[in-house]
Amino acid sequence: MSFSISGKTAIVTGGANGIGLAVGRHFANKGANVMFADMDEKHLKKEIGKNEEGSNIRYFAGDLREKLTQANLLSATIDAFDQVDILVNASRQVVTSDPLNPDDDAVVMLLNQNLITALRLSQLVARRMIKQADGNTDSGAGTIINLSSIAARRTHPDLLAFSVSSAALDQMTRSLAVALAPHHIRVNAVAFGSVMSASLKDTLREQRDYRDDIEDHTPLGRIASPAELAEAVQYLACDGSGFMTGQIMTVDGGRTLLDPVAAPAH
């Protein structure tokens, strides 16, 4: 089996910053065509540059919570690269929430942002994958990778909304995997601990002792780089993982092996 993704076309959401940007760049460096999608057009232009015809990287700006925006993203990808083989749902939001406040809408907000957006886009892209395969599924019709979190399995009072949305995303991954298996589309997820994303960098600047707390509760004793996560995502996207579907692959430096009374996942 090959670990190559060269020549394949990927949509990567959350592509303007942090983990999504790192995954998209890694894919492009490995020879894939990549559509970076994000609502932050200014940052997309800064990181990706111009949408130049003939390039293997393009960007699309828009609010992916809107169904029309998702349809336009898929159309733009097909116009640029003729097909879509990989969807990476990397767009996600982390906010604190008050578990005892019935007026706190964080759970609803994160379910919409982290779950419903990924679900609708996955459904839309899967239909395109089925259509373009047209029965030729020798190497699979496509693959979908969701970026989740170990927060789905660990609890922290301030992260109720994020934990609930992460757990829901994991179950969506399993359910879609079963539903799409007859169409030869694989669906998996990467659940990660602390990765040096843009949001974590901001948090570490504000809370200088937080890094020590994370490292003390991670057996490997450090925070992962976005590039390390990108390697794991590539594995799930390539033919080398061709018999994996419905799996939540954990990349956390061993954090979930320790006592759950530990630093919150970020």
Residue 107 in any domain: the answer is yes
What pLDDT does 96 receive?
Answer: 86
Residue 1: pLDDT above 70? no
Average pLDDT over residues 66-77: 98
Q: What is the pLDDT of residues 190-238, one digit of tens each?
A: 999 888 877 777 778 888 788 888 888 899 999 999 889 999 999 999 9
Q: What is the pLDDT of residues 82-129, one digit of tens each?
A: 999 999 999 988 888 888 999 889 999 999 999 999 999 999 999 999
Q: What is the pLDDT of residues 174-186, one digit of tens each?
A: 999 999 999 999 9
Alpha-carbon dihedral angle through residues 100, 104, 110, 116, given to the nearest 10 degrees? 110
pTM of the model as a whole: 0.92
| Whole-number Å distance between alpha carbons of 130 and 252 | 33
* Whether the Cβ atoms of residue 56 and residue 80 lie closer than 8 Å to each other: no
**245 vs 137, more confident:** 245
| Whole-number Å distance between alpha carbons of 257 and 86 | 31
Residue with the two structure tokens 């057996």:
219
Residue 49 in any domain: the answer is yes
* Whether the Cβ atoms of residue 242 and residue 186 lie closer than 8 Å to each other: yes
Residue 259 in any domain: the answer is no
Residue 199 in any domain: the answer is yes
List the domain range (segments joined by +) for residue 144: 9-253
Residue 1 in any domain: the answer is no
CATH code for the domain of 100: 3.40.50.720
Q: Percent of the chain at pLDDT above 90?
A: 72
Residue 3 in any domain: the answer is no
The count of domains in the chain is 1
Residue 142 in any domain: the answer is yes
| Whole-number Å distance between alpha carbons of 245 and 247 | 5
Residue 167 in any domain: the answer is yes
